[in-house]
Amino acid sequence: MSEEMNVQAQNEAEAAMSQVTVIKKGDIVTGKIVKVEDSGALVDVGYKYDGLIPLKELSSVGIDSANQAVEVGQEVQVKVIGINDAKEELTLSKRAIDSEKAWEALQAQLENKAIIEAQVAEVVKGGLVVDIGVRGFVPASMVERHFVEDFADYKGRTLRLQVKEIDREKNKVILSQKDVLDQEYEAKKKEIMAGLTIGQVLEGTVQRLTQFGAFVDIGGIDGLVHISEMAWSHVGHPSEVVKEGDKVKVQVLKVEPEKDKVSLSIKSTQAGPWETTAESIKVGDIVSGTVKRLTTFGAFVEVAPGVEGLVHISQIAHRHIGTPHEVLKEGQEVNVKVLDFNSAEKRVSLSIKETEEAPVQEAKPEKERQPRGDKSGNHAKEIANNENVSLNSQGLSTTLGELFGDKLAKFK
């Protein structure tokens, strides 16, 4: 090879070397992912050979494969954490750069209460781990507005989060999705409550049951159906009527925005017992019922679920009684006759004695009876005094004028 050619080759080599990026440990450089392997990702940063981002330096959280963090052709900013030209080893870290940027962003997000999105990387004891440039932790109590028993299917989900607490020295970041959901719920609740009207009928979903009623979702907010509004009949526990997840029709009874309360009724959307009973019970019918309450003036008897009628004290027995307690007791089953049924006024008049045969009157002893044709002194005088009549010997009634008219004429 001629000397001229050697010079040319040397010049080309020097020119090529001048194009190679000069880097050293600690430098921050930008490159492009050229290959993704199980152990990491290869990056072209313009150096004489490609650099490697090991798996542990790709993400702040544990990952199983490099393709969970990067893909071929992606541009990345990395930090040089190791260089060995003799072995052509260039070790890079994406995590270090992400972490530095993340802490700055997290501080601003904490102050501004910003909402960020992050994917669940791990499900651990007590909550979820997300990658936000650093390792972020979402406690179990801050994932949803409701209790979640098992988070197994949350891995890979994208959550909308707010930063609750950061501590850079301890590499600690606490986030909450519940706060985001609570804020959205409150905003939605105000909007929905503003559109509710008393008497409005809606379809809802039973969310949870308590001793005193059921909470029903009516399109983004929960309203309470008190146990007294669950059915027309007596309800001991809401589970007797509904279960969680049931679709139900409810009527709006009361809206109290200042208390964040909506009162609902299930029974108001259904035909009442008075309407349905009016179709099956008619005046004159004899039906069975249960004595519910006793008062001084009578007894209230339930003849159908939610329908009570009054048996007035005069209609309890054929004989005279001073108080209903003499004859009846609460819980007693009785037969009653319907005397009057007014569903519009929710009033029923009932009778017990008309379902029973009247007792036979006992005949008086002979000596206590007064014969009809008795002409004897006292009885005749009483009749004469009261009726202004006298009895003749034949038992025929005659006026006083007829008997003494001629004698009375002398005094005229």
DSSP state of 305: T
The architecture in CATH of the region 113-181 reads: Beta Barrel (2.40)
Per CATH, is 33-111 categorized as 3.10.20.30?
A: no
Confidence of residue 9 (pLDDT cuts 50, 70, 90): low
Determine the 3-state secondary structure of 274 from DSSP: helix
Name the amino acid, one letter, at 177: Q
pLDDT digits (tens, 9 = 90+) for 41-51: 999 999 999 99
Structure tokens at 314: 């005069």
Domain 113-181 shares a fold with domain 278-355? yes
Enumerate the domain spans of the chain.
33-111, 113-181, 197-269, 278-355, 373-405
With a cut of 90, say whether residue 210 has pLDDT above it.
Answer: yes
Choice between 383 and 180, residue whose per-residue pLDDT is larger: 180
The architecture in CATH of the region 197-269 reads: Beta Barrel (2.40)
Q: Which of 206, 203, 192, 215 is nearest to 250 (CA)?
A: 203
Write the DSSP string, 207-235. EEEETTEEEEESSSSEEEEEGGGS-SS--
DSSP state of 373: T
pLDDT digits (tens, 9 = 90+) for 364-380: 665 555 555 444 444 43
Q: Are 229 and 253 in contact (CB under 8 A)?
A: yes
Give the Cβ contact number of residue 202 at 10 Å.
18
H helices of 113-223, in order, are 178-194
The architecture in CATH of the region 278-355 reads: Beta Barrel (2.40)
Q: pLDDT above 70 covers what percent of the chain?
A: 83
